[in-house]
Chain A
Amino acid sequence: MTGTESAEGHDGALGAVESVGTYVPRSTISAETVREAWDGFHARGVSEKRVPAADEDAVTMAVAAARNALDDSEHNRDDVETLALGTTTPPVDEGDIGATVAEVVGLGEGTEVSVHSQSTRAGTRAVVDGLRSGTPALVVAADAPRGSPDDAVDHAAGAGAVALVVADDGDAAVTDHATYTREFPGTRFRRRGNDEVETYGATTYEREAYTTTVTEAVDALDADFEALAPTAPDGSRPGRAGRAVEGSEVFQLAGELGDTGAASPLFGLVAAWDAGSESVAVVGYGDGASADALAIRGSIPVKTAWPSVEITYPQYLRQRGHVGGED
């Protein structure tokens, strides 16, 4: 271990993050390119975002991140007892994509596999699941949301995945977990059989749902922290949680990766670690609304730079299946 503290040093720790792997598609589109196409750009705080290749989806990104996490882990894939996957964009409405991820990675057939979905909180749900299940657990959050091409959701929509190996010991201890749920319908949803995420569109209401839920979950944590890593639907909303939670610096990568949905609070965690934070509150927020807050002490060195290739707006439309792609 290289950190200053390990999970053993924290009485009552729920477990620890032992290794991290990230994956980000290489295609990048700038806010400026989208602005030229639509004569406007509606995603606040996003300067550029990542776009999945035509052959990528939540499953392939989850696999790539999971392999990277296992490469950096003391554990090998045969040790993994649990796979917990979180995504709002499973490639099928019904069908166990967890089994596919497990098979591709080559996990043992006795691995307990679960998939969390239907809310951008799915990523932190997967972390909580991993902590509560047999360890070592492989936890993966992967997302590539889409909206209607002319709206703020699609302008923000990015892509990426973060995987954690969660174990009894590790350099980043999870010291507490708290949750908050209260009904705020319609802040972000996708109709059955539809690929496009929608919001009701009442900005003040959506901000209230986000701020209330995130703040209440964080306040229920029995921990001090210097950094806050909340779900980031764009580059601006996380700042609202920061204003509601005094004295903490807010970290998010939506400004450069776009909205990574269920993976976004874990990208925030990675950004906080990259900046040297040793105590982070990770908050997964999702429509409904509900939030999980996790207090994490310690850190794991991670890189937050990924290979990038600029694409045009027509390429974007083709790659995301907004045009073409019908058999």
Chain B
Amino acid sequence: MGAYLSVPSWVRNLDSRYRFVLGECTECGGYTFPPEGACVECNAVGTLEPVEPAGTGEVVAQTVIESGAPPEFAALLDAQGAIGVVLVELDEGARVPGMLTDCDPREVARGDRVESVVRRIYEQEGIVRYGAKFRPEP
């Protein structure tokens, strides 16, 4: 079963999809992703200023999908054999989810350094959705 997201909803936060734009709290300096709502550090509301992180960080959790992927990812699973999904703590501090690319996802572990690249996420209704993924830092 897929989690359908319409194109109008998808484009609402392209900066975060493409470049992990974070919210920096003007009260405490903490970072929140996505950059909306209350600050995850100090719960202040209306204090988030968008900032663009370097896109590098460390894997804090990971899993591998080898079958049963949502239908929009079926083609990628066919082509790649497995899809790695990670939670990454960016060097700025915020935690962001992402897929892995350019690696064997089974060889990526907690603590590994990764960097973001923009790739095709999936194609649906003829429209290619692009977004940031992670690959191991060289």
Contacts and interface: CB of A to CB of B under 8 A. Distances in A.
B18 A103 contact: yes
Contact of B128 (A92, A106, A321): A92
A59 B138 CA distance: 22
Interface in A99-123: 100, 103-104, 106
Contacts of B79: 54, 318-319, 321, 324-325
A63 interface: yes
A57 interface: yes
Nearest to B124: A327
A64 interface: yes
A104 B18 contact: yes
A276 interface: no
Nearest to A27: B102
B13 to A, nearest CB: 12
Contact residues of B: prevailing secondary structure: mixed
Contacts of A325: 75, 78-79
Given A104-B18, A106-B19, A55 B128 contact: no
Interface in B17-31: 18-19
Interface in B49-84: 52, 71, 74-76, 78-81
B74 A327 contact: yes
Interface SS, A side: loop
Contact of B117 (A64, A100, A326): A64
A106 B52 contact: yes
A105 B80 CA distance: 26
A56 interface: yes
Interface in A45-64: 53-57, 59-60, 63-64
Contact of B75 (A60, A64, A326): A326
Contacts of B76: 54-55
Contacts of A92: 126, 128
Contacts of A64: 117-118
A325 B128 CA distance: 14
Contacts of A324: 75, 78-79
A301 interface: no
A54 B118 CA distance: 13
Given A55-B80, A324-B75, 20 more contacts: A53-B80, A55-B101, A57-B120, A57-B128, A59-B128, A63-B118, A64-B118, A92-B128, A103-B14, A104-B130, A106-B19, A318-B78, A318-B80, A318-B81, A319-B80, A321-B75, A324-B78, A324-B79, A325-B78, A327-B75
17 contacts: A26-B102, A53-B80, A54-B75, A54-B80, A55-B121, A57-B128, A59-B128, A60-B117, A60-B118, A60-B119, A91-B128, A92-B128, A104-B19, A319-B80, A321-B75, A324-B79, A327-B71
Interface of B: 14-15, 18-19, 52, 71, 74-76, 78-81, 101-102, 117-121, 126, 128, 130, 133, 138
